[in-house]
Amino acid sequence: MNILIMTNTYKPLLGGLEKSIESFTKEYRKHGHRVIIVAPQYPDMQPEEDVIRIPAVEKFNGTDFSLQLPLPGVLQEALGDFRPDIVHSQHPFLVGDTALRVASKYNVPLVFTHHTLYEENVHYMPGNEEALKRFMIELSSGYANLCDGVFAPSESIMKMMEERGVRVPIHVVPTGIYVNNFSRGDGGAFRKKWQIPHDAFVVGHIGRLAPEKNLEFLSQAVVQFVKKHPQACFLVGGQGPSEQSIQDIFTQAGLSDRLHMAGILEGKELVDAYHAMNVFVFASQSETQGLVLDEAMASSVPVVAVDAPGVREVVLDHVNGCLLAHENIDDFVSGLEWIQQLPATKLKNIKTVCRQTADYFSMNKSAQKALGIYTSLSIQGFSRKTIEQSYWDSKLRLMQAQWNLVKNLTRATTALVGGNTTSEAGHARF
């Protein structure tokens, strides 16, 4: 099967979405499928086989993201004689729009993964936040209805999309992890490198350090815990715009010596970091799937987290960690203290459940499920391919795709200015 994956972000960025693309691609290729990834250009990127880089404005709007430039013909020339059997879009706009046009041109199924709660990221955009949230909800939901199928990373996101009027088939396909890669790590060596005492109680967090991850609340909660427990410290892996605010919160509390900012962690160093932790903490309300939660579980690290979509599917309260119903600092501190005070036998049982939880999210299982859906969609779409494939058939499909994108943008813009919209976009693929 020829699989075309199209995305607005990819390496060298190191977030959950980029990891997802890389992991699924690796598994698909392992099963004999050819995969081409279409992604924007970035500075200092390494050449990679079967990755097509399209011209883009780098560092768009002060972020790490690149904005695709609308240069017609560039992608078609780069694809050469590659004909996709399925097109998989990772975003509902920009390169996602191009994905719809490509799928229409080749008359093949289009799949969309709803990776992100886009409405929780509007602080990066100028304008009224509430209006922009309405815009993003309408845009992403409408785009989903223009596809042949949607991947939801969790049950919570599937239910949310159904409530928002998405009517095309939705499949729960979480991004998997390589569980065995996280089973063994040298936490002692990592602690030594960062001068963390061997008997310290290490509270850990790894991820992109950005406002939508709710890191201000998380840092304040950990500060309160660290104040009460002299042997406790906070280990943070990752980079992003919230890095300074985390440091400021600890400095203002007079606890800067109990904060360890490890920067971007990859490979063995990442695994060692998890194994250096006693507990993993998470407070984001903007996830569709907390991939780092699965990694922590695979490393036998219990989690304290605030209930949210993509979190409640992983963290089971008082089973493999603490799942807090509400965002409350005192409750978060209590959750950390519950983990800290567990008897050795009980803690061992919880660590065992953590590993069992991670097994559910194995990469092989997720990839097999995704490939099964691809195959099913391709078989269903085969009848469309039997229609005469003339030059004008292709042009008509492209015109219809462009018209659908315009209608979807119009609906979303109506929501932006406060008008009424229909509950769903038409699914009008040829």
Confidence at residue 110, expressed as pLDDT on a 0 to 100 scale: 96
**Cα–Cα distance measured from residue 168 to residue 89, given in angstroms and rounded to the nearest whole number:** 15
The residues, ordered by sequence, that sit 6+ positions from 282 with a Cβ below 8 Å of its Cβ are 205, 218, 290, 292, 293, 303, 304, 305, 306, 311, 315
Least confident of 3-17, 264-278, 348-362: 3-17
Containing 88, the helix (H) or strand (E) segment is strand 86-89
Residue with more model confidence, 424 or 72 = 72
- C-alpha Rg value of the chain to the nearest Å: 23
Is the entire prediction scored with pTM above 0.85?
Answer: no
CA distances from 241 to 124, 214, 345 (A): 11, 12, 40
**How confident is the model over 201-216, as a mean pLDDT?**
94
Least confident of 238-242, 416-420, 421-425: 421-425
- DSSP assignment of 28-54 equals HHHTT-EEEEEEE--TTPPP-TTEEEE
**Cα–Cα distance measured from residue 157 to residue 151, given in angstroms and rounded to the nearest whole number:** 9
CA atoms within 13 A on the CB side of 217: 18
Categorize the per-residue pLDDT at 229 as very low, low, confident or very high, splitting at 50, 70 and 90.
Answer: very high
Confidence at residue 128, expressed as pLDDT on a 0 to 100 scale: 63
Q: Give CATH for domain 179-360.
A: 3.40.50.2000
**Cα–Cα distance measured from residue 246 to residue 369, given in angstroms and rounded to the nearest whole number:** 39
Confidence at residue 136, expressed as pLDDT on a 0 to 100 scale: 83
- Taking the CA atoms of residue 292, residue 296, residue 299 and residue 304 in that order, the dihedral angle to the nearest 10 degrees is 180
Confidence at residue 5, expressed as pLDDT on a 0 to 100 scale: 98
Candidates 49, 45, 55, 46; CA nearest to 37 is: 49
Q: Say yes or no to pLDDT of 399 above 80.
A: no
How many of the other CB atoms lie within 10 Å of CB of 351? Answer: 17
Residue 388 DSSP code: -
Confidence at residue 417, expressed as pLDDT on a 0 to 100 scale: 66
**Cα–Cα distance measured from residue 212 to residue 72, given in angstroms and rounded to the nearest whole number:** 34
**Cα–Cα distance measured from residue 334 to residue 323, given in angstroms and rounded to the nearest whole number:** 11
Q: Is the CB of residue 99 less than 8 Å from the CB of residue 110?
A: yes
Q: Say yes or no to pLDDT of 430 above 50.
A: no
Candidates 334, 293, 285; CA nearest to 206 is: 293
**Cα–Cα distance measured from residue 346 to residue 329, given in angstroms and rounded to the nearest whole number:** 25
Intervals of CATH 3.40.50.2000 along the chain: 2-176+363-416, 179-360
Categorize the per-residue pLDDT at 131 as very low, low, confident or very high, splitting at 50, 70 and 90.
Answer: confident
The token duo for 199 is 């008997």
The alpha helices in 89-149, defined as continuous H runs, are 95-106, 129-144
How many of the other CB atoms lie within 10 Å of CB of 366? Answer: 23
Which neighbouring-strand residues pair with 287?
A: 116
Q: Is the CB of residue 97 less than 8 Å from the CB of residue 72?
A: no
**How confident is the model over 79-102, as a mean pLDDT?**
92
Containing 122, the helix (H) or strand (E) segment is none
The mean of the pLDDT values for the chain is 87
Which neighbouring-strand residues pair with 282?
A: 305
Categorize the per-residue pLDDT at 429 as very low, low, confident or very high, splitting at 50, 70 and 90.
Answer: very low
**How confident is the model over 162-175, as a mean pLDDT?**
95
Q: Say yes or no to pLDDT of 157 above 60.
A: yes
**How confident is the model over 146-150, as a mean pLDDT?**
94
Containing 365, the helix (H) or strand (E) segment is helix 363-385
Backbone angles phi, psi at 67, to 5 degrees: -100, 120
Categorize the per-residue pLDDT at 392 as very low, low, confident or very high, splitting at 50, 70 and 90.
Answer: very low
The token duo for 222 is 């950990």
Residue 64 DSSP code: S
Backbone angles phi, psi at 233, to 5 degrees: -150, 170
Domain 2-176+363-416: what homologous superfamily?
Glycogen Phosphorylase B; (3.40.50.2000)
